[in-house]
Amino acid sequence: MERVTIYDSTLRDGTQGEGVSFSIDDKLKIVQQLDQLGIRYIEAGNPGSNPKDMEFFQRASRLPLRHARLAAFGSTHKVGTPAQEDPSLASLLAAQTPVVAIFGKAWDLHVSEVLRTDNATNLAIIRETIAYCTAHGREVIFDAEHFFDGYKHNPDYAMEVLRTAADAGASVLTLCDTNGGAFPDEIGEITRAVSSAFPDRAIGIHCHNDAGMAVGNSMMAVFSGATMVQGTLNGFGERCGNANLCTLIPNLQLKRGYDCIPPENMPTLRQVSRLVYELANLLPDERKPYVGGMAFAHKGGMHIDAVHKNPATFEHIDPALVGNERRFLLSEMSGRSTLLAAIHKVDETVGRNAPETSRILKRLKTLESEGYQFEGAEGSFALLIRKELHRYTPFFKLEQFKVISIAPNYNEYSSSVMIKIKVDGKEEITAAEGDGPVNALDSALRKALVRFYPEIDDMRLIDFKVRVLDSKNATASKVRVLIESTDGEQNWSTVGVSTDILDASWHALVDSVEYLLHSRRDI
């Protein structure tokens, strides 16, 4: 298998994306996960522009990494400041990483308009910066910023930039589509030209996704001679993001036979993707290829029937190869085979034509006619099946709750809830405040239950959606509430429907709690 070296930039370029931020501890956890995945280079920060990164690099140097080499990221030295006097370069070397990534201008437009200097001076600062870093024992990866735009505007100068970096000692020449606007045919043609011109240097590719082609462009570069691919987990990055390694790695390795990571680690890809979302405090994009929750989700009855007979009919790979799983979405379109698969998760002895199956199917259609939708609420549907199969245990009984909303409010809490529940004959009364009535109700319910069920502490609500089902009735309209919860290891969704938004929310919250308790106890 031909090797493609994976260079991860989640902790540097990824953090430049809107809403993405990691603490030092978060970054250390991600480095360890990337190393375990088998990533060979991890670009972990820019110590010259972010003082927090210096502490990170000090702590990261003590990590026992098996596969990865850490890289610190920085620019060529400033115009008019010698390399040995440049404070950013001093910070870069002080990070004590074995690798430094140096970016320099490859587009003469940037030389004149951004650096405000001439082409020859730009070449000189590239040469001096790389030579200075190699003289201090660092492997230098040179990122030719805006290379493809530069090449299209002035190919001779763009190639001279690469030649200067190679002569100064850069081990890898990375071609950057920094604006993210190049097309695959351009990437392929230009990468082939560079690969032919520099047979003694590894060629890298760094693509942004502004035209939606970062993954395709990166693959085209590999097909055209690039042997290093830069990207980020989940496609995090500035503007529209970077090339998504969670798509690139399986595309290259599973589909085209390249050696990117150890094969035995591929099934952990989805887990690593979810961890990064969790640490970034972002909801996973479930439509992402390979690792998204919808990547192997089937809804249409004919599709589902075909997949039951042979998964290859509507799946391009076995989802287990990347740590994902097949899902059959439950709706009036799904058919009896899908329903039976869900039933068998609770009781494998129930047959296709059993009266229980017919009863559950009838109940499903009745609830959907009332506004319920279970294709995105697998937790509630699992409980429905348990109830119809008499395998359901109620864990508590609501005596009452009272909601108080305050407007205008003068602190962070606009609502409070008092709740009384009963568990095995024992009453618990408690109260909680929240940012809105549903948040307060969620907090009060879990506060009341944690004495009886300590595992409630592991659970938290991560998404809350409300949809009006019949807007013609205005404020008396029926609403559907969908809640997504997590215990840090699994996510599940539950649903409630009512003309009262609090009542709908209550039913979804109760299902969320009971799904967790049933799954932990498997009763």
Strand order through the sheet with 415-423:
397-405, 415-423, 426-434
Asked if residue 518 belongs to a domain, the reply is no
Higher pLDDT, 174 or 282: 174
Give the pLDDT of residue 474: 60
Q: Does one domain contain both 56 and 173?
A: yes
pLDDT at 245 over 90: yes
- Asked if residue 40 lies in contact with residue 68, where contact means CB atoms within 8 angstroms, the answer is yes
Q: What is the DSSP string of 142-187?
A: EEEETHHHHHHH-HHHHHHHHHHHHHHT-SEEEEEETTS---HHHH
Give the pLDDT score at 218: 98
Residue 333 pLDDT exceeds 60: no
End-of-domain residue from the set 388, 406, 429? 388
Domain count, the chain: 3
Domain coverage including residue 305 = 297-388
Identify whether residues 194 and 230 lie together within a single domain: yes
481 φ, ψ (degrees, to nearest 5)? -110, 130
Q: Is residue 457 part of a domain?
A: no
- Any idea how long the chain is? 523
**What's the token pair of residue 267?**
């099934």
Cα separation, 387 vs 356, in Å, equals: 11
In a domain, 329, yes or no: yes
Same domain membership, residue 203 and residue 110 = yes
519 vs 235: CA distance, rounded Å: 32
R_g over Cα of the chain: 28
Tell me what pLDDT residue 175 has: 98
In a domain? residue 462? no
Least confident of 27-31, 49-53, 260-264: 49-53
- Are both 261 and 122 inside the same structural domain? yes
Distance CA 185, CA 223 (A): 11
Domain shared by 122 and 220, yes or no: yes
Based on the domain organization, do 190 and 320 belong to the same domain? no
Residue 109, domain member (yes or no): yes
473 located within any domain = no
- Cis ω before 262 (30° cut-off from 0): no
Verify that 134 and 170 share a domain, yes or no: yes
How confident is residue 168, by pLDDT bands cut at 50, 70 and 90?
very high
Residues 170 and 309 in one domain: no
Section 233-242 average pLDDT: 97
pLDDT tens for residues 385-402? Answer: 999 998 898 999 999 999
Residues near 390 by beta carbon (within 8 Å), at least 6 away in sequence: none
What is the distance between the alpha carbons of residues 13 and 417, in angstroms, rounded to a whole number? 43
- CATH number of the domain that 240 lies in? 3.20.20.70
Contact 194, 164 (CB under 8 A): no
Considering the domain architecture, whether residues 412 and 371 belong to the same structural domain is answered as: no
Q: Note the pLDDT of residue 355.
A: 87
| Same domain membership, residue 318 and residue 423 | no
Among candidate residues 388, 411, 430, the one where a domain is terminated: 388
CATH of the domain at 418: 3.30.160
Could you report the per-residue pLDDT of 101-141, keeping only the tens digit for each?
999 999 999 999 999 999 999 999 999 999 999 999 999 99
3-class DSSP assignment, residue 455? helix
The pLDDT of residue 18 is: 94
Q: pLDDT at position 205, please?
A: 98
Same domain, 224 and 319: no
The answer to whether residues 360 and 302 belong to one domain is yes
Asked if residue 284 is part of any domain, the answer here is: no
Looking at per-residue pLDDT, the higher value among 482 and 471 belongs to 482
**Which pLDDT belongs to residue 404?**
92
Span 34-85, pLDDT tens digits:
999 999 999 999 998 777 788 899 999 999 999 999 999 999 999 999 999 9
Over residues 226-250, the mean pLDDT reads: 98
Of the candidates 519, 506, 503, the one whose C-alpha atom is nearest the C-alpha of residue 444 is: 506
Domain membership of residue 163 (yes or no) is: yes
**Which residues, in sequence order, are CB contacts of 5 under 8 Å at separation 6+?**
40, 41, 202, 204, 227, 228, 229
Average pLDDT, the chain: 91
The residues near 96 (Cβ < 8 Å, ≥ 6 apart) are: 57, 58, 61
Residue pLDDT, tens place only, 416-430:
999 999 999 999 999
